[in-house]
Structure 1
Amino acid sequence: MPNVRVVCLALAILVFSLSACASQTKVSQADIQTGATQSDRYLPLLKGKRVALVVNQTSQVQGSHLVDFLLSKHINVVRIFAPEHGFRGDHDAGAHVSNAIDSKTGIQITSIYGKNKKPSKDIMDQIDIVVFDIQDVGVRFYTYISSMHYMMEVAAESNTQFLVLDRPNPNGKFTDGPILDMDYQSFVGMHPIPLLHGMTVAELALMIKGENWIINASKLELFTISNANYKRSMPYELPVAPSPNLPNSQAVKLYPSLCFFEATPVSIGRGTDFPFQVVGHNEVPLGKFSFTPNSRPGAALHPKLQDRTLLGINLQQSTQQGLDLEIFIKTYQAFSKAGVTFFKHPEFMDKLAGTHKLRKAIEEGQSLQQIQESWQLGLQSFKQQRKPYLLYPE
């Protein structure tokens, strides 16, 4: 007869091994179910209600636009709200977004980008629930979360329900950069969060309400549909480009670091086939890679340094990700040496950074390590502050 203790030990080892194997099972992008694909969880919230959508070209449900999907389910969609880049995502950054009628469905489209970031009371009186379903990229100055802020606020003011259909954050494993100083609050930075906040839009919505970052936050009836089979650390390749100048995953990865160049004379490739994947200038050579920006309606109608030959750095194969300011600092040094003004728009730089301290630190010659150390305490505090709102493991 076998020794009972030995048998028990063997069984324990077997159970542990099976548990370990199960925990190591890899979940791929194909396994992720976005909030929009889990219709059984949110359709009951929409039935019999007048529904408005904050959507764009990324609002897809298994190959169909959310508008078409909801109409096929006999949901009463009465209004579409269009953020920056428009309902179809074909407007350049900062381009005017007009009110219109959707030619396919006949639904009224109301712009929430530009002068009127919040719909009027007359419009909100015709709506019972607002649905937000837009792919974000996890960077504070990407304006879709600013539009979500204003729409949450107007929903709270008008006693309208608000539903967020979540989507993965392609930069979700990073929490980095300076915390926004509210003295520098703008449409490219609404909340006291880091540049890379490491949260999804649903998590941010919960935090915006929970931290009372909108007027009448306590009155807002907020619902969220989280992603299934998703972890924050998972790589996620966007199935649809979130805006004209972020055409691929490489641009999305480099966007947090390269967007600061927008406040300088340096081109980051707007008006080329590789926006947010190069750095170059015509007077201060930054490298050996040559490129020429040209006009591209819908992506860069009048790009910086248009029709000029620029010399710089090709980052299309770079492994850089997260927030990496090394190239930015070296470029500042090259401009200083050449006697050319680098911070051409210092006020815009400070809005992007959410503080004047980053610009000042670079001008003072602080090292990259010193600059990174300056925001570590703020990051630690933020990570504690966000914990109650997280829907996915850290």
Structure 2
Amino acid sequence: MPSPRFAFTLSGTDGAARAGTISMIRGDIRTPAFMPVGTAATVKAMKPADVRASGADIILGNTYHLMLRPGAERVARLDGLHAFMGWDRPILTDSGGYQVMSLSELRKMSEEGVSFKSHLDGSAHMLTPERSMEIQRLLGSDIVMAFDECTSFPATREESSASMERSMRWAMRSREGFDAGEGHASVSALFGIQQGSMEADLRKISADKLIDIGFDGYAVGGLAVGEGQAEMLRVLDFAVAMLPADRPRYLMGVGKPDDIVGAVERGIDMFDCVLPTRSGRTGQAFTRNGPINIKNARFAEDQEPLDPACGCPVCAGWSRAYIHHLVRSGEILGAMLMTEHNLAFYQALMADLRAAIGEGRLKAFADGFRARYLRD
């Protein structure tokens, strides 16, 4: 059963796409939702108030990185992650499962969990489903993710099946570990993560096992790991419908704006990705006519805003020429302005998607968006 502190209601559908609201103690989350990534208790180059002003209802933190620095126990002594970073709205925490894959040279995996060597100082750590639940409880996470193994790509069918089955055993242990923290469990939610790589039958087995265990929401994991957009969307064509229609569906680690549009068309409700913030720090701005590299010389005397169709404070206040100068000069303000614009662009896209779904015109909006964004 859903947590009494967690409710998901739909306000509109258009084909497989849904618009709705996740209601939690710390506030409502409008869906489809994009969660800015605050890996180390900060959305890089942004103050929390500015993240909220961009339109974000929820942000993401990372169990693995916060476990290493400053440490979950320390965050708990400092009144939890919300107070620590000055963000009073919902926070979803990644369980650390992605690092099982991405830090493969630094870890050893067993049925118990994953032993890591810290990428910071080489110190030894053990991350299990139970420890992941404990860390997320100490952080005070609102939406806790089950601990899983993110299957690498490419993988053989045998590897994909074994990885998925292990994730399902860990999902049960995550459920038990989450429930053991009764006070935290009564005010937060737990999401399970579907695995199975690119195989429809493995995805179905995974979904059925997760449903049997019971979660407040369900994530599609193991995508955006190098398979490419076409393959990702092919998997979403069958994977999303395997998950309960009355719970939120979260596509982890996605993605580019056109990835998001395609996934919303297939019924995904929640997204996260480092792309808008990382791109902002490296000179890429997202616009409705496609991304631009502000470092290019052609912008040195361009008095247009980053995106003439954008109403964000950055586009209202500064020109491409000025931001080009800042970024080329390595000025911190350049990264700040680029990041603020990119997050505003993503949140405006989510608002446009919600409106299009509510008004029954998603196909026209999506086709029009792709025609402009991908025109080159």
Per residue, is there more helix in 1 or in 2?
2
Q: TM-score surpassing 0.5?
A: no
Larger Rg: 1
What range describes the TM-score normalised by the shorter chain of this pair? under 0.3
Q: Which gives a bigger RCO, structure 1 or 2 (Cα 8 Å, sep 6+)? A: 2
* Structure-2-length-normalised TM-score: 0.26
The structure with more strand, counted as a fraction of residues: 2
- What's the TM-score once normalised by structure 1's chain length? 0.25
